[in-house]
């Protein structure tokens, strides 16, 4: 431990304490795959006891690496990705790496531009819910990639089991008595949306449920507001939204129209972001272990930087239905959709 006022330990001090050369210390700290485990353990123990922390710039010169990792998300305004980032940053920090974050604004072109720019500044990249084509990813300017929420051959990835989450949601609605279900679909290039549709179709076919797909809708609160009236017109007694933001938007518009949830329409979200439990009524939703996903994704990235042996590996994380008060039995009789309430200021 470095005492207050004392000179900080140097790499030479660590080498002396571990009984190895300065070059070996550099390799043990910057390129652990090049050093025997026993030697690296001895170096780490010496570094810890001396309170030594390598200078990031100096380490970069020695190893050719920046010590930085990049994360690109499609929408920083969506709390779903906040939890992924929290897990990712915690794991990166434990490995003494900094994290740079960028928002592609749901645009494949913007994502490609960010990928090009960040590839020169980071050692590896985590792409969350990438909107790029598989061909574009194969031609990425950096080969040290990990995907979250997307599966592409040859690229390590972490994905939630969205199809099973959808199956759980449909089964829950079936048990409540629903036989006509609408799904508010997400972006056209969303791999997660494709998996949810597969789960929806399989579950509805097995249970004899009539399902309709509306959209795609913008994966935002505003997208849900715009989709609420088409949902009512569809004749469905329950709706499953692509994500919680869309579901909250639907609930907001229904409340403004005097349509009661779940008495008139049952509503299910996806992701279980914090606001899902704060709505009125609280939202039934499919929970995704996002923070754990962020940690695992960075672990894969670090493994790829160290050993390069994770290409093509995929971790599939379980999803679970969280039942709250936005779902209930279908209406006992057909109820017409209410007309929009007049604006008092217009009279």
In this structure, the answer to whether residues 281 and 135 fall within a common structural domain is no
In this structure, the answer to whether residues 230 and 308 fall within a common structural domain is no
Q: How many domains does the chain have?
A: 3
Domain that holds residue 35: 11-63
In this structure, the answer to whether residues 150 and 208 fall within a common structural domain is no
What is the rounded distance in angstroms from the CA atom of residue 75 to the CA atom of residue 12? 46
Q: What is the dihedral of CA 294, 299, 304, 305, to 10 degrees?
A: 100
Is there a domain that residue 3 lies in? no
Is there a domain that residue 337 lies in? no
In this structure, the answer to whether residues 223 and 140 fall within a common structural domain is no
What is the rounded distance in angstroms from the CA atom of residue 180 to the CA atom of residue 231? 11
Is there a domain that residue 176 lies in? yes
Is there a domain that residue 2 lies in? no
State the CATH number of the domain containing residue 82. Answer: 3.40.50.2300
Cβ-count burial 313-342 (b if 16+ within 10 Å, e if not): eebeeebebbebebbbebeeeeeeeeeeee
Is there a domain that residue 296 lies in? yes
How many CA within 13 A on the CB side of residue 31? Answer: 13
Picking from 43, 63, 83, the residue at the C-terminal end of a domain is: 63
Q: What is the dihedral of CA 259, 263, 266, 267, to 10 degrees?
A: 50
pLDDT, tens digit, 9 for 90 and up, residues 227-239: 999 999 999 999 9
Residue 341 scores a pLDDT above 50 = no
pLDDT, tens digit, 9 for 90 and up, residues 300-322: 999 888 765 555 688 999 999 99
Q: φ and ψ at 246, to 5 degrees?
A: -65, -45
**pTM passes above 0.75:** yes
What is the rounded distance in angstroms from the CA atom of residue 69 to the CA atom of residue 99? 5
Is there a domain that residue 326 lies in? no
In this structure, the answer to whether residues 153 and 176 fall within a common structural domain is no
pLDDT, tens digit, 9 for 90 and up, residues 138-177: 888 887 899 999 999 888 999 999 999 999 999 999 999 9
In this structure, the answer to whether residues 53 and 112 fall within a common structural domain is no
């Amino acid at each position: 431990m470095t005492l207050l006022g004392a000179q900080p330990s140097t790499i030479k001090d660590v080498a002396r304490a571990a009984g190895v050369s300065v070059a070996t210390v550099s390799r043990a700290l910057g390129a652990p795959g090049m050093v025997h485990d026993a030697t690296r353990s001895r170096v780490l123990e010496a570094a810890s006891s001396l309170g030594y922390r390598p200078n990031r710039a100096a380490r970069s010169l020695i190893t050719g690496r920046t010590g930085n990792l990049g994360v690109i998300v499609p929408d920083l305004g969506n709390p779903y990705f906040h939890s992924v980032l929290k897990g990712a940053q915690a794991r990166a920090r434990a490995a003494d790496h900094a994290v740079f974050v960028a928002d592609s604004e749901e645009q494949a072109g913007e994502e490609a531009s960010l990928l090009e720019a960040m590839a020169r500044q980071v050692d590896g990249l985590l792409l969350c819910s990438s909107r790029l084509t598989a061909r574009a990813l194969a031609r990425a300017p950096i080969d040290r990639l990990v995907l979250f929420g997307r599966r592409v051959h040859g690229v390590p990835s972490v994905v939630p089991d969205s199809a099973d989450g959808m199956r759980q949601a449909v089964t829950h609605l079936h048990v409540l008595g629903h036989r006509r279900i609408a799904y508010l679909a997400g972006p056209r290039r969303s791999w997660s949306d494709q998996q949810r549709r597969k789960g929806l179709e399989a579950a509805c076919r097995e249970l004899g449920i009539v399902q309709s797909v509306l959209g795609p809708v913008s994966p935002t609160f505003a997208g849900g507001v715009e989709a609420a009236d088409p949902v009512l017109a569809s004749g469905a007694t329950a709706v499953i939204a692509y994500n919680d933001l869309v579901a909250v938007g639907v609930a907001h518009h229904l409340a403004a129209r005097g349509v009661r949830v779940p008495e008139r329409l049952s509503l299910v979200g996806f992701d279980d972001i914090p606001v899902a439990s704060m709505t009125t009524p609280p939202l039934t939703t499919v929970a995704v272990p996002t923070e754990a996903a962020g940690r695992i994704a960075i672990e894969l990235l670090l493994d790829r930087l160290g050993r390069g042996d994770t290409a093509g590996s995929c971790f599939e994380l379980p999803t679970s239905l969280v039942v709250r008060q936005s779902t209930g039995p279908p209406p006992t009789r057909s109820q017409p959709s209410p007309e929009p309430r007049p604006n008092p200021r217009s009279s």
